[in-house]
Structure 1
Amino acid sequence: MASTSDNIQVPIAQFHKHGLQLRSGSPSSQVPVEDAPRKRSKVKTGCYTCKARRVKCDEAKPWCQRCIKFGVDCDGYPAPKGPPRVSKHLRPRDPRALAPLARRTVIYSMEPARLFEDEQEGRCFRIYCEEMAYQIKGPFKTSLWNRLIPQVSEAEPFIRHAIIALGAMKKITHGPDNAGGDFQLRPSNASDFFYALRQYEKALQGMRQNIADGRKDIQKALIACILVFCFETMTNKMNNAVVNAESGLLLLHSWMRENLPNHVGCNPSKEWQDHRIEEDLMIAFSGLDLQLLFFRDGRPRRTHEYVISSADGSIAQMPAEFGTLKAAHNFWMLIMRRNYHFIVMVLGQGKASEMCGPLMHGDAPYEDCVNIFPGGNIFSTPKEPPFELFPACMRYCDDIAKWTKATAKGFAETEATGTEEEKVLLALLKIHSIMGPIMLTSAFFTTQTAYDQYLSEFRKIVSLCEWVLPRLMASAAGKAVYHFDLGVLIGLFLVGARCRDLVLRNRVIDLLLCCKLREGFWDSAAAGLFIVWARDLDEEGRDENGEIPEERRWFITSAYVDMDKQKCLVSATQKALDGLKFKHKEIFW
């Protein structure tokens, strides 16, 4: 399919080109502490925040000036009472249709008749707010998707059109006419699909006009970036998504160098709030950074060095104990980013690209595909590891151990009394923290048998994934689920690619192929079929003792992926006794 978005240049890089300067944006999330409690009468009108604080609201739109003045989040206004101003089709859907893990929080209330051009826009916007926002965020604690983004869209049409486009995509995947339950274009959903593309075009046009008018706002630019990323990955335009993510992160790093020159070793949350940028948005960009690191990262070494040095100072100030699960998660994101930038740098220095067959350097086999190349992917295998960097690797493993100790008490309390959603987040944090030392040390592995020492850790990862995955997919009813953040798929891929225990590998394959889960770039079906091929190659070399010797083991090195046509050309390498051997296979799903 040649989508309408194929010929549209993703505009986020233009924000960087024009040099953003900060303009008043969303209110800070810091709530002032009052000197002494005093009796207040019940407040019946105004925004949710003022009513909760029992203070008089000035009822300004889109958010009240009192909240802005006092530096608190304005959570918007209740929907007007009385006769509805829009069609009955815009009424909230049955909460039972939402994922069991979704916890409803207040979202920004809007006036559809004033903001939307037609009923379909209002309907898709409502679908985003009531369903898609909760699906995109997954089990992670954030108000970005269901509060901040809808709130900002009241005053910014291009963000509103992007929201409508995402709502239309949710309608496609979970509509009655989509037998496949995925993000693919079919005759049965063509009308909704092209409606989503038209709304996306309007969003891109608005972003360009925003630049042309000289309206430069860093928070809106960053929100635009993550919404574009979501739409491009949902519509399988992975090259566009890579370019957009790289441009958005370049913009953020440039802005930080200019506006936060002393941020190294300081509390970044406080500094972001001083510039009226919400912490949840910055955490989302940490997630976007990890998406690139785990999919295809072609950024220069200086970018990795910048992130590593920026994070080192803050990680050195790790608290002895985390007060909340969200605090533990946010700090873990900082550790993950630092560690995986280090790993990509190590693999690039370790000549991982020389472990791939000649196809990597040839012409792309498909017209519109992403080349996931060794050295630019976190799962690459080095040829000559730079062992002078190994002491840093050990320090980073120590940081993971310190984080694990600092979270022990909070994790135990969550396991005992936490909600289902909190327990899912806890399990994901455990999966990623178990992965951490494996990924760090294996960046220096030149053999596949070295991974055998981690069999116990691999079993823990799979067991946790077996518990988490059904809960993530509980309400999907066989339909596709899209999460912005990385979750279970990278852990399952690590085990499937590196573990030669056949029983465990088959459990991984079963998990990946039993669901329709997309985590940003990562697709469960594609990952599962990669592992099927890797397993089949290895099983050919299993000897009479049930072992697979080093010279008979294969490891995946690169792939040309065309998500739109659901196919890829994947390559693998074997370090045979007589030299490197290569195989390639075209996979369809």
Structure 2
Amino acid sequence: MVVPSSPLKFADETEERYFRTFQNETAAELEGWFDSSFWHRLILQACVEEPFTQKVVTALAAMSTSKKLLHNTDTDTSHRAIVAQQTEFAYKQYQKALQEMRNALEKAGDSRKALIGCILVCCFESLVGNTASAHAHAISGQRLLEQWLVQHPYKNPLEIGIASPASHLIEDDIIQAANFFNCQVSAYLDPRPASEHARLRHEGDETMAHMPHKFETMRDAHRYAMLMFRRIIHSIREVAELAGDGRISTNSNFQILEEGVSALSISPGKDQSPEPQVADPYAFAVQQGQCSLELSRWRSAFSGLYERIMLSTDKREQAAAKSLSK
């Protein structure tokens, strides 16, 4: 557990209690199986630097606690009252955080703080089931991330997609956490056209071309896996956008991690688009082969590390390895 470098100021005992809950429980739940400094160090540091961060994390902790209580206990009168109190506190903290966030970001256009704020907002909206709102914030976060990356181009092309191009400004783990926006947008009513997905599926071409033959750490395996996953998602989305135009249809679900990209079939359809996009069957066949090859190369690089982890006694790392190997 990381302790903030400076003492935090709390409005009352309830706020402090939920901050400790975030520190001891919620951060680990959000982090999942993969170690990252984002939730356990960078967010706690941000709580010292920006009051809105502290309010969002206490809102997350309170809402998470209320949902667990509701799920794990009988809904008698006393429990319903506690859940109602926790939920009310969470929403009040969240509304205060949003106002403070707007004020802070209007005064200083800090991309790092804005990305952190956007990630936290997406997490809260997702937790309470506001899918449309989470999606809208994810779109904003993705645009912010892309703008920052344009302003800070990579000096080393082999780091594209797996590291920050300027870690002294925005750390690697914040960039990796912000890549969540890309997946969030792609998973729900993605507004981006096929041409944009065609561009984004080439993210990290050189990085993937020089992927290690053997991964030494789960951190590396995970980062390359997430880059590969984003590239595959954009390949699927590109096809889906063209399928909506009646030119390309998928004849089965995409079983990415198990079977690679499924076959694509070309259908003639009618051209109803004012600016038709040409569907090239050969190009898509090549694209499918590239996705399958990348997946095979990644699995080969991961196999030795996976076997070593399965022989270890680290249950958390074993769970992480199993989640990647599915």
Per the TM superposition, whether the score is higher than 0.5 is yes
The 8 Å contact of residues 263 and 310 in structure 1, kept in 2 or not, is answered as no
Q: Residue 190 and residue 255 in structure 1: after superposition, are their counterparts in 2 closer, same or farther (change >3 A)?
A: same
CA distance in 2: counterparts of 1:345 and 1:177, whole angstroms: 39
1:202 counterpart = 2:96: yes
Task: Give the structure 2 partner of residue 240 of structure 1.
Answer: 133
> What is the letter of the counterpart of residue 424 of structure 1?
A
The Cα of 1:348 is off from its aligned counterpart by 1.2
Tell me, which stretches of 5 or more residues in structure 1 are unaligned? 1-104, 357-373, 432-589
Q: Residue 277 and residue 269 in structure 1: after superposition, are their counterparts in 2 closer, same or farther (change >3 A)?
A: farther
The 8 Å contact of residues 128 and 166 in structure 1, kept in 2 or not, is answered as yes
| Count of residue pairs the alignment pairs up | 302
The Cα of 1:422 is off from its aligned counterpart by 0.8
1:168 counterpart = 2:58: no
Q: How does 1:272-421 map to 2 (within 5 A)?
A: 272-351=165-244, 384=266, 386=279, 387-388=281-282, 389-421=284-316
The Cα of 1:166 is off from its aligned counterpart by 0.6
> What is the letter of the counterpart of residue 64 of structure 2?
K
CA distance in 2: counterparts of 1:242 and 1:410, whole angstroms: 35
The 8 Å contact of residues 287 and 333 in structure 1, kept in 2 or not, is answered as no
Task: Give the structure 2 partner of residue 428 of structure 1.
Answer: 323
The Cα of 1:351 is off from its aligned counterpart by 2.7
CA distance in 2: counterparts of 1:163 and 1:137, whole angstroms: 13
Task: Give the structure 1 partner of residue 273 of structure 2.
Answer: none
Q: Residue 191 and residue 270 in structure 1: after superposition, are their counterparts in 2 closer, same or farther (change >3 A)?
A: closer
CA distance in 1: counterparts of 2:95 and 2:46, whole angstroms: 19
CA distance in 2: counterparts of 1:345 and 1:406, whole angstroms: 28
Task: Give the structure 1 partner of residue 2 of structure 2.
Answer: 106
> What is the letter of the counterpart of residue 203 of structure 1?
A
The Cα of 1:404 is off from its aligned counterpart by 1.2
1:153 counterpart = 2:41: no
Aligned to 1:174, the other structure's residue is in SS state helix
> What is the letter of the counterpart of residue 231 of structure 1?
F
The 8 Å contact of residues 306 and 321 in structure 2, kept in 1 or not, is answered as yes
Residue 144 (structure 1) aligned to one of 31, 38, 48:
38
The Cα of 1:107 is off from its aligned counterpart by 4.1
CA distance in 2: counterparts of 1:201 and 1:188, whole angstroms: 20
The Cα of 1:285 is off from its aligned counterpart by 2.2
> What is the letter of the counterpart of residue 243 of structure 2?
G
Q: Residue 407 and residue 355 in structure 1: after superposition, are their counterparts in 2 closer, same or farther (change >3 A)?
A: closer
Structure that is richer in helix per residue: 2
CA distance in 2: counterparts of 1:381 and 1:408, whole angstroms: 26
CA distance in 1: counterparts of 2:131 and 2:167, whole angstroms: 34
Q: Residue 133 and residue 394 in structure 1: after superposition, are their counterparts in 2 closer, same or farther (change >3 A)?
A: same
The Cα of 1:338 is off from its aligned counterpart by 0.6
CA distance in 1: counterparts of 2:20 and 2:296, whole angstroms: 44
The Cα of 1:186 is off from its aligned counterpart by 5.8
Percent sequence identity is: 29
Residue-by-residue CA offset, 1:101-129 (whole Å, 9 max, x unaligned): xxxx43436534xx111111111111111
CA distance in 1: counterparts of 2:203 and 2:263, whole angstroms: 27
> What is the letter of the counterpart of residue 111 of structure 1?
P
TM-score between the two structures when normalised by the length of structure 1: 0.47
> What is the letter of the counterpart of residue 2 of structure 2?
V
Residue-by-residue CA offset, 1:451-500 (whole Å, 9 max, x unaligned): xxxxxxxxxxxxxxxxxxxxxxxxxxxxxxxxxxxxxxxxxxxxxxxxxx
Tell me, which stretches of 5 or more residues in structure 2 are unaligned? 256-261, 268-278
Task: Give the structure 2 partner of residue 227 of structure 1.
Answer: 120
The 8 Å contact of residues 164 and 172 in structure 2, kept in 1 or not, is answered as no
The Cα of 1:164 is off from its aligned counterpart by 1.0
Aligned to 2:225, the other structure's residue is in SS state helix
Q: Which of these two proteins has the greater Rg computed from alpha carbons?
A: 1
Q: Residue 354 and residue 309 in structure 1: after superposition, are their counterparts in 2 closer, same or farther (change >3 A)?
A: closer
CA RMSD of aligned residues (A): 3.0
Residue-by-residue CA offset, 1:81-120 (whole Å, 9 max, x unaligned): xxxxxxxxxxxxxxxxxxxxxxxx43436534xx111111
Structure that is richer in strand per residue: 1
Task: Give the structure 2 partner of residue 21 of structure 1.
Answer: none
CA distance in 2: counterparts of 1:343 and 1:204, whole angstroms: 35
The 8 Å contact of residues 139 and 424 in structure 1, kept in 2 or not, is answered as yes
